[in-house]
Structure 1
Amino acid sequence: MSPARSDRTRRPVDLRQRSTMAGEASAAEAEVEMALDAPPDPQAAAFFDVDNTVIQGASIFHFARGLHRRKFFTTRDLASAAWKQLLFRVVGSEDPEHVAEARASALAFIKGHTVAEVEALGEEIFDEAMAARVWPGTKALAQLHLDQGQRVWLVTAAPVELASIIARRLGLTGALGTVAEHEDGVYTGRLVGEMLHGPAKAEAVLALATRESLDLSRCTAYSDSINDLPMLSLVGEAVAINPDARLRAHARDAGWRIRDYRTGRKAAWAGVRLGAAAGAVAGAAAVGAALRRKR
Structure 2
Amino acid sequence: MAVPPDSGPATHAAEQPVATSAEIAGEASAAAAVANLDPELAVRDTTGAVVPLDLTAAAFFDVDNTMMMGASIFHFARGLAARKFFDTSDLAGFAWQQLKFRIGGRENPQTVTNSRESALSFVAGRSVSEVVSLGEEIYDELMADRIWPGTRALANMHLDAGQRVWLVTATPVELALIIARRLGLTGALGTVAESEDGKYTGRLVGEVLHGPAKAHAVRSLAAREGLNLRRCSAYSDSVNDVPMLSAVGTAVAVNPDSELRDIARARSWEIRDFRTGRKAAKIGVPSVLGAGAVAGAVAAGLAYRRRA
TM-score (norm 1): 0.76
- 2:276 aligned counterpart, secondary structure: coil
Provide the secondary structure at the position in 2 that maps to 1:108.
Answer: helix
Paired residue for 2:265?
Answer: 252
Residues 229, 41 of structure 1: alpha-carbon distance in 2 compared, 3 angstrom cutoff: same
The structure 2 residue matched to 1:27, chosen from 17, 25, 30, is: 30
Q: 1:171 to 1:90 in 2, by over 3 A?
A: closer
Residue 289 of structure 1 corresponds to: none
**Offset from partner CA, 1:109-162 (integer Å, 9 cap, x none):** 432111111111111111111111111111111111011111000000000000
Alignment counterpart, residue 147 of structure 2, candidates 126, 131, 134: 134
**2: CA distance between counterparts of 1:150 and 1:264?**
28
Alignment of 1:156-235 (within 5 A): 156-235=169-248
Match of 1:291 in 2: none
Separation in 2, partners of 1:111, 1:179: 13
- Counterpart of 2:91 in structure 1 is 78
After TM superposition, the runs of 4+ consecutive aligned structure 1 residues lying more than 4 A away are 81-87, 89-92, 98-104
Distance, in Å, in 1 between the alignment partners of 2:220 and 2:177 is: 18
**For 2:53, what is the secondary structure of its paired residue?**
coil
Alignment deviations for residues 30-72 of structure 1 (CA, whole Å, 9 cap, x no partner): 1324444694310000000001111111111111112223344
What is the letter of the counterpart of residue 32 of structure 1? Answer: L
- What is the CA–CA distance in structure 1 between the aligned matches of 2:108 and 2:67, rounded to whole Å? 25
In 2, Cα distance between equivalents of 1:102 and 1:242: 22
Distance 1:182 1:158 in 2: 16
Give the number of the structure whose alpha-carbon radius of gyration is greater: 2
- Partners in 2 of 1:161 and 1:224 — Cα distance? 22
* 1:107 to partner: Cα distance: 4.1
Matches of 1:264 and 1:140 in 2, distance apart? 15
Deviation readout 1:69-120 (Å, 9 max, x if unpaired): 3344322112235668979x97862x6xx78756753443432111111111
- 1:118 corresponds to 2:131: yes
Contact 1:33 1:173 in 2 (8 A): no
- Which one of the candidate residues 17, 21, 33 is aligned to 1:18? 21
CA RMSD of aligned residues (A): 2.7
Residue type of the alignment partner of 1:126:
Y
Aligned counterparts, 1:22-101, within 5 A: 22-30=25-33, 31-34=36-39, 35-36=41-42, 39-81=52-94, 93=109
Matched, 1:263 2:263: no
TM-score (norm 2): 0.73
Q: Any conservation in 2 of the 1:33–1:174 contact (CA below 8 Å)?
A: no
SS of the residue aligned with 1:250? helix
Tell me which moved more, 108-117 or 124-133. 108-117
Which string of whole-angstrom CA distances, capped at 9 and with x for unpartnered residues, describes residues 188-239 of structure 1? 2221111000000000001000000000000000000000000000000000
Question: Greater helix percent: which structure?
Answer: 1
Long gaps (5+) in structure 1: 1-12, 266-295
